[in-house]
Amino acid sequence: MASINIRKASADELETLQALARETFYETFAKDNAEDEMQTYLDESFSTGKLLQELNTANSHFFIAWEDQDPIGYLKVNTGNAQTELQDETSIEIERIYVKSSHHGKKVGQLLYDKALESALQENKKYLWLGVWEENLRAVTFYKKNGFVTFDQHIFRLGSEQQTDLMMRKDLE
């Protein structure tokens, strides 16, 4: 495997990020969800306007994992009022870590997580938190392995369907 480079994404990389987001979300969840619900979610959540707004939000940061010139995964972290729920100034939310299925098991997710952890430590945050679908056992196991514990749950909407996300956190102090 070639070396992996993780770089902060800019608005100039909107199309790359959009294609990567759509592909990885679909790969991760299509087998467990209705096709029409998936397409609705992809169209709404990864529209050009929505992603551009997210890229231009001051307290949200995207990072893309590159293998040579190929984008293979990405990370989105939020601080302050950009966080989706807690909005705690002492925390960073990991909103998304997704890796192309062709690169599962190759430590790309770990590298992206390490970037989130590095950001939290640089900003002197007290903890990281995230929401993860309770049925995404691969991701739940990954976060537990990295020291996260479940502290709550919330509802995630995929189209018209309601799914339960585990809310997990890792204290840094």
Q: Answer yes or no: 26 catalytic.
A: no
Token code pair at residue 71: 């984008």
Q: Which residue type, as a one-letter code, is found at position 159?
A: G
List CB contacts of 167: < 8 A, sequence separation 6 or more: 85, 129, 130, 131, 150, 151, 152, 153, 154
List CB contacts of 85: < 8 A, sequence separation 6 or more: 93, 131, 154, 167
Question: DSSP assignment, residue 81?
Answer: G
Q: Which residues are catalytic?
A: 143
